[in-house]
Amino acid sequence: MARFPRPALARYLARRCGAFIVVLLSVHALAFLLLYALPSDPVALMLERRSAGAGGGTPEQVEALRAAHGLDRSLPVRYVESLGHLLRGDLGTSFQSGRPVPEVLASVAPNTVALAGAGLAVAVPFSLALALLTSWRRDGALHRALVNLPPLIASVPAFWLGLLLVQVFSFALGWLPSTGGSGPAALVLPALTLALPVSASLTAVLVRSLDDVQDAPFVALLRARGLPWWRVYLRHVVRNALLPFVTLAGLTVGGVLVGTVVTETVFARAGLGRLLASSVEAQDAPVVLAIALAAALVFAVVNLTVDLLYPVLDPRTRRQDSGATA
């Protein structure tokens, strides 16, 4: 990044930070309207859960709780108050547990971070290796056999894949725990369930990009100069084909967070995904809003990181940016 003029880089970062703020405020507004515009009453749901289905509480209890959570005011007033709390860094209190939202998120976030990290640690190297192996010789039988594998894996539903892995490796072989648990062993099956569909998408994009780059004129020129194929492939073809892969890998980080909803439910793991599912069901708006904002922030940071990686991977991007700055 040292080749970029510092003022241009500072202006670029300032624009992206401004865009981050707009995205976060838009996500907050949309999630707020979707949650609070629902016809059901979160207070009635909360009282019904607390009484284990015995009843929804007296009208006086309902009105008292609605007033305590600010639900007795109009929707525009509630939105302005929620926005003010957000700008002050106050994420509110959970309707379900009565605990501060940051405390609720902090109690389960490490499990989701560990699961997402393990899934990405499996998906990215596996997809990279499979794509390189598939496109190494396009006229070989291996290419014809492996090129249809990623679409096949991507078509398998995540919940069915998780149940299949549990049936084979937990019930049939007894190698790994089926649900819950702690430690590396309990993380293997959820990580595989999360990683395989992601790796299928990454592999399909990288294989297509590698095949397209191999048809480029500069590859034929390098081969005509007598360079060995392994050198042309690894130093020139792979490097030029990585940009779409890096872009999709960045977007995949957000997709992995979304995938934890299904994975944590199948494997009965406590995490942000399972918390989001239960919070949406109970209309626990403060928790849902906080998770939506966290996901939007992750997307924004990852996209910025990918954009900053482009000039490192492709010098043409760097020259275009320098020309535009000049």
All domains of the chain in start order, with CATH: 100-282 (1.10.3720.10)
| 44-61 average pLDDT score | 61
Q: Which is nearest to 242 in space by CA: 230, 233, 231, 229?
A: 233
Q: Which residue's entry shows tokens 């940009």?
A: 243
- Over the stretch 73-126, which tens digit does the pLDDT of each residue have? 777 888 888 888 888 888 888 877 778 888 888 888 888 888 888 888 888 888
Q: What are 16-52's pLDDT values in tens digits? A: 778 878 888 888 888 888 877 766 666 666 666 665 5
Residues 22, 23, 27, 33: is their CA dihedral positive or negative? positive
At residue 2 the predicted structure's pLDDT band, cuts being 50, 70 and 90, is very low
Residue 317, pLDDT > 60, answer no
Q: Residue range 134-152: average pLDDT?
A: 70
Q: pLDDT tens digits for 248-290?
A: 777 777 667 767 777 887 787 888 888 888 888 777 888 888 8
Asked if 143 and 137 count as a contact pair (C-beta separation under 8 A), the reply is: yes
Of the pLDDT bands very low, low, confident and very high (cuts 50, 70, 90), residue 140 is: low
Whether the predicted pLDDT of 55 surpasses 60: no
Q: What pLDDT shows up at residue 1?
A: 42
The angle subtended at Cα 243 by Cα 118 and Cα 203, nearest 5°, is 50
Q: Kindly state the tokens that stand for 257.
A: 């967070």
Q: Could you read off the pLDDT of 149-202 as tens digits, one per residue?
A: 767 777 777 778 888 888 888 888 877 777 766 667 777 888 888 888 888 878
